[in-house]
Amino acid sequence: MKKQFAIIGLGRFGVSVSTELFQLGHEVLAVDINPSKVKEITNFSTHSAVADGTDEKALRKLGIANFDHVIVAIGDNIQASILCTLLLKEIGIKSVWAKAQNYYHHKVLDKIGADKIIHPEHDMGQRIAQHLVSDKVIDY
């Protein structure tokens, strides 16, 4: 079934998530504060927009309240990531997944209600390790 996702922040992680969801046939709204990032994703998203994820009015204007799933993929700017996540939960988004940079960032995201907190490098490292020791590796 086709689902609707919004991705805020189009660094390597955000672009990868957006592109995969789009190629899987889902509706994807891709958002970044940087116009050149938005231009790059145009062909790999259903809709794309230049907007500040910490600006409640801008988020509402994008119709973000209609999305069941929003992924906050803002990286280095921890303050922006936290504020954006908080606004999305206040707006009433059911499922907000956010990327954390470190343990303290994770703790704050957890407190303000992020539904899932992702540590891409850590999570991927675990998956690779599991693959390495899985039976399948013997087949290669």
Joined together, the tokens standing for residue 72 give 């906050």
Chain residue at closest Cβ approach to ligand ATP: 75
Joined together, the tokens standing for residue 51 give 């907007």
Q: How many helices (H) and strands (E) does the chain have?
A: 7, 6
Q: Which is nearer to ligand ATP, 121 or 139 (CB)?
A: 121
Is 62 a binding residue for ligand ATP by CB under 6 A? The answer is: no
Q: What are phi and psi of 67, to 5 degrees?
A: -95, 135
Is 34 a binding residue for ligand ATP by CB under 6 A? The answer is: yes
Is 30 a binding residue for ligand ATP by CB under 6 A? The answer is: no
Is 11 a binding residue for ligand ATP by CB under 6 A? The answer is: yes
Q: What are phi and psi of 64, to 5 degrees?
A: -60, -25
Q: Which is nearer to ligand ATP, 33 or 64 (CB)?
A: 33
Is 13 a binding residue for ligand ATP by CB under 6 A? The answer is: yes
d(CA 58, CA 8) in angstroms, rounded, equals 12
Residues that bind ligand ATP (CB under 6 A): 8-14, 32-34, 37, 52-54, 74-77, 80
